[in-house]
Amino acid sequence: MRWETLLYESGDRVGTITINRPDALNALNLTVFAELSELLSEIATDPEVRVIVLKGAGEKSFVAGADIKEMVDMDRQDAEARSWSGMRLYDQMRRMPQPLVASIQGYALGGGMLIAMACDIRIASTAASFGYPEIKLGIFPGTGGTVLIDRLIGPAAARAICLLGDRFPAERAYQLGLVNRLVEPERLKAETDNVASTLAGYSPVAMRELKNVLNASLELDFASAREIEIDAYGRCFDSEDRVEGTSAFVEKRTPDFKGR
Ligand code: CAA
């Protein structure tokens, strides 16, 4: 098998990545970081893949965080280097031209909640649970997770999650807007397929441009992000997909987007 820590399959315009360390509840070790980054680089240029689904192997866990066993003997330099590789991976995920859908069936803790937040859409089973337990280890979600959660759900809720370190149910994550769709465990796969197939039907050009703008809005000031928005919007109007999308509406048919 090509990957030590991942499974990958693709079909029907959807690429599905499974983090495959069920014995460690899919904890993120350095091999997962490296393999995910390499696989994502390949998928980024694969025109057959319009949506990426990310999940964890087994029933019990999406991802139970960074691999704590790797951390025991780490010093400050190791920690900073590790943090940079995590941050680069999460940036890479956000900057993928294709949307990423996290399909969350169990624990999404620490780096597990963070990797889910680096996806564009999060679908969770009601049996899933979330949290940043790092404070209990004498650290905090220092791979970009503190800053990101603050931006995604606002400072009051983010601060309580980081400081208290408690585990909370998917229902609470849904109320906070961390989870976009909440379904019974037996519906998770169907709902993930449903969302993936909806996204796969949209224009890859508009999707890529839209993600660029949303990333800019997360990272830049208001005026700079709006300049990026207007450029990206203009580029959509250069695309065949925009002609197809607007014509299909007028002609009362389903658009067939080619990604050009
Ligand atoms: N790293 C490494 N191994 C982990 C792990 C992790 N984050 N989480 C679970 N495991 C391993 C356990 O060590 C155990 O392996 P062994 O059988 O070899 O001991 C196996 O997975 C099963 O785990 P448990 O026996 O603990 O399962 P449980 O059902 O009793 O508990 C749990 C599940 C509540 C998720 C518990 O495993 C747990 O608290 N895990 C740690 C969660 C955590 O603290 N995550 C944050 C990590 S730090 C981080 O993420 C930093 C960052 O991003 C910056």
Please report, for the domain that includes residue 235, its CATH number.
1.10.12
Range of the structural domain that residue 10 is part of? 6-200
Domain at 115, CATH number: 3.90.226.10
Same domain, yes or no: 82 and 174: yes
Same domain, yes or no: 182 and 229: no
Residue 25 lies in a domain: yes
Q: How far is CA 4 from the centre of its chain?
A: 21
Q: So what's the pLDDT on residue 244? A: 97
Report how far ligand 1's centroid is from the alpha carbon of 169 (Å). Answer: 17
- Under the banding of pLDDT at 50, 70 and 90, the label for residue 28 is very high
Residue 257 lies in a domain: no
Same domain, yes or no: 173 and 234: no
Report how far ligand 1's centroid is from the alpha carbon of 139 (Å). Answer: 15
Total length of the chain: 260
First-to-last CA distance in the chain? Answer: 34
Same domain, yes or no: 142 and 237: no
Same domain, yes or no: 71 and 94: yes
Same domain, yes or no: 213 and 107: no
Q: Whose CA is nearest to atom 32 of ligand 1?
A: 64
Report how far ligand 1's centroid is from the alpha carbon of 25 (Å). Answer: 7
Same domain, yes or no: 106 and 74: yes
User: Does residue 1 carry a pLDDT above 90?
Assistant: no
Note whether 141 and 132 are within 8 A (CB).
yes
- 155 phi and psi angles, rounded to 5 deg: -65, -35
Q: Whose CA is nearest to atom 42 of ligand 1?
A: 64
Q: Whose CA is nearest to atom 28 of ligand 1?
A: 25
- List the structure tokens of 85: 């590789």
Q: So what's the pLDDT on residue 156? A: 96
Last-in-domain residue among 182, 200, 218 = 200
Tell me whether residue 164 is exposed, middle or buried, using C-beta atoms within 10 angstroms of its C-beta: 0 to 12, 13 to 18, 19 or more: middle
Q: Enumerate residues lining ligand 1, CB below 6 A.
A: 24-25, 27, 64-69, 107, 109-111, 114, 133-134, 137, 141-143, 145
Q: So what's the pLDDT on residue 6? A: 98
Q: Mutual orientation of helices 204-219 and 222-237 as an angle, nearest 10°?
A: 170
Same domain, yes or no: 208 and 242: yes
Same domain, yes or no: 96 and 187: yes
Q: Which among 5, 20, 23, 25 is the best mutation to test ligand 1's pocket, defined by most ligand atoms within 8 Å of the CB?
A: 25
Same domain, yes or no: 180 and 238: no
Q: How far apart are CA 76 and CA 93, in angstroms?
A: 26
Residue 256 lies in a domain: no
Same domain, yes or no: 163 and 196: yes
Q: So what's the pLDDT on residue 222? A: 96
Residue 258 lies in a domain: no
- State the total domains in the chain: 2
Look up the pTM and report it: 0.96
Q: So what's the pLDDT on residue 138? A: 97
153 Cβ contact list (under 8 Å, min separation 6): 176, 177, 178
Note whether 55 and 8 are within 8 A (CB).
no
Same domain, yes or no: 100 and 50: yes
